[in-house]
Amino acid sequence: MQLSKFGEKFTSGAGIISLMNDLGRSLGGEDDVIMMGGGNPGQLPEIEVLLKKRLQEIAASDPSVHDLVGIYDPPQGNISFVKHCAKLLKNEYGWDIGPENICLTNGSQTAFFILFNIFAGRFADGSKKYIRLPLTPEYIGYSDLGLEHDIFAASRPKIEYLEDRMFKYRVDFDRLIIGSETGAICVSRPTNPTGNVITDNEISRLLDLACRHDVPLIIDSAYGVPFPGIIYADAKPLWHENVITCMSLSKLGLPAVRTGIIVAREDVVRAIAAVNGIISLAPSSFGPKLVEKLVADGEILALGERIIKPFYYAKCQNALHHIHRELDGLPYRVHRPEGSMFLWLWFEDLPITGNELYELLKVNGVLVVSGHYFFPGLNNDWKHRSECVRLTYSQDDEDVEKGIAVIGRVLRSIYERN
């Protein structure tokens, strides 16, 4: 089979494909391994009770069932949900927005595919623009989203060493260059894979740079504020005409409904909706109809603070306890976890690559993600890239404990041999 350039690019072994294959096979019961690599949310009983009740309400009402599965929404997304979302953000945070500032997509991955290719790539005048990542490591799912190769330009972070074998990445503003080749600036907050929360001051400085260069600042808030609120540090939700905020229903416990939410100025929303219409006809109605009441009464924000954040924070502390016990004596550091559902481990002077460590752990029944996938747009000459792995603590606590014990045993054997 002969493929186009598009076909070759999107079938060429991207890291996110490997990750999702591992995730699906593990959680689907096909492979007998401990899944500590994917971003599948944990099982929250209280959330599932709410969703079950809502499904029963929908099933008991014929008009609601028809609205759920029997009609197309417009390319912008479900009108009622979009209105409720805009009203919530305006009333709760004072954002000067209306329904015209919100667009839905079939998952946040689709949202970033559209956004990155709107603002980066080849332009009519022959120039090429890039998505500027001011802080790496960044989300593995970004890496292969460009219709063209190499649409990212990334910067190394400053590394701040902390107590208790912790460290933290910070934006290195002294070396951050936003030139005419920048089409947009993008950060995830909290950062996937590290759980880093870029501070309000850093966000303010990035926004200032974005405004001065007349480019948007894209904030990936799939784990953060306003919802689902899996964030353990201070972080204020931000609205500005130059900011594009991307949220998702996935980390509320709804990864299968594939609902992304973009808040942006009107011309950006119109552009995203136009692409939606071409590639999808319309976003799915299922997620918006399922959580519409939670958005309408503001309960979606309370759920994050009352249930979701405490759930993941407890899991995070549990995982850290086991890491410090099982890796004691090894040259490891953990990025200070400030949100999301991941821990980012750095093994200084690791004798093998992070990908080789991934393969060894996989043979021993534990799946993590090699750190080298998380540096799109950065030159390959930084050894740090191959000394890190990402693991998730969102799954069963007993499995997490077992998995960390395996990681400790495998690492000890590696360092002893070398």
CATH, residue 201? 3.40.640.10
Which has more confidence, 84 or 33?
A: 84
Q: Using 50, 70 and 90 to split pLDDT, how confident is the model at 61?
A: confident
Half-sphere exposure of 388 (CA within 13 A, CB side): 24
Q: Are residues 37 and 127 in the same domain?
A: no
Q: Are residues 308 and 294 in the same domain?
A: no
> What pLDDT is attached to residue 116?
97
Q: Is 125 left (phi over 0), alpha (psi -120 to 50) or beta?
A: alpha
Residue-number span of the structural domain to which 205 is assigned: 73-298
> What pLDDT is attached to residue 65?
77
Q: Is residue 183 part of a domain?
A: yes
Q: Is residue 56 part of a domain?
A: no
What is the rounded CA–CA span in Å between residue 209 and residue 176? 10
Q: Under 8 Å CB-to-CB from 199, ≥6 apart: which residues?
A: 233, 234, 235
Q: Is residue 155 part of a domain?
A: yes
Q: Are residues 289 and 399 in the same domain?
A: no
Q: Is residue 178 part of a domain?
A: yes
Q: Is residue 376 part of a domain?
A: yes
Which CATH number fits the domain that encloses residue 337? 3.90.1150.10
Q: Are residues 326 and 382 in the same domain?
A: yes
CB atoms within 10 A of CB 83: 16
Q: Are residues 96 and 216 in the same domain?
A: yes
Tokens of 104: 């839905």
What is the rounded CA–CA span in Å between residue 36 and residue 362? 10
Q: Using 50, 70 and 90 to split pLDDT, how confident is the model at 178?
A: very high
The answer to whether the pTM exceeds 0.85 is yes
Among residues 249, 282, 298, the one where a domain terminates is 298
Of 97, 87, 88, nearest in space to 226 by CA: 88
| Residue 388 burial (C-beta neighbours within 10 Å; 0-12, 13-18, 19+) | buried
What angle, 0 to 180 degrees and rounded to 10, lies between the N-to-C axes of helices 286-296 and 45-59? 110
Q: Is residue 314 part of a domain?
A: yes
In this structure, of 91-105, 236-250, 311-325, 377-391, the range with the lowest mean pLDDT score is 377-391
Q: Is 201 left (phi over 0), alpha (psi -120 to 50) or beta?
A: alpha
Q: Is the pLDDT of residue 59 over 70?
A: yes
Q: Under 8 Å CB-to-CB from 7, ≥6 apart: which residues?
A: none
Q: Is the pLDDT of residue 26 over 60?
A: no
Q: Are residues 321 and 288 in the same domain?
A: no
Please report, for residues 137, 156, 229, 236, 374, the alpha-carbon distance to residue 384 in angstroms, rounded to integers and kept in the order given. 10, 10, 30, 31, 11
What is the rounded CA–CA span in Å between residue 215 and residue 212? 8
- pLDDT (tens digit per residue) in 201-211: 999 999 999 99
Q: How does strand 182-188 pair with strand 128-133?
A: parallel
Among residues 244, 263, 298, the one where a domain terminates is 298
Are 101 and 270 contacting, i.e. CB atoms less than 8 angstroms apart? no
DSSP one-letter code for 56: H
What is the enclosing helix (H) or strand (E) of 129?
Answer: strand 128-133
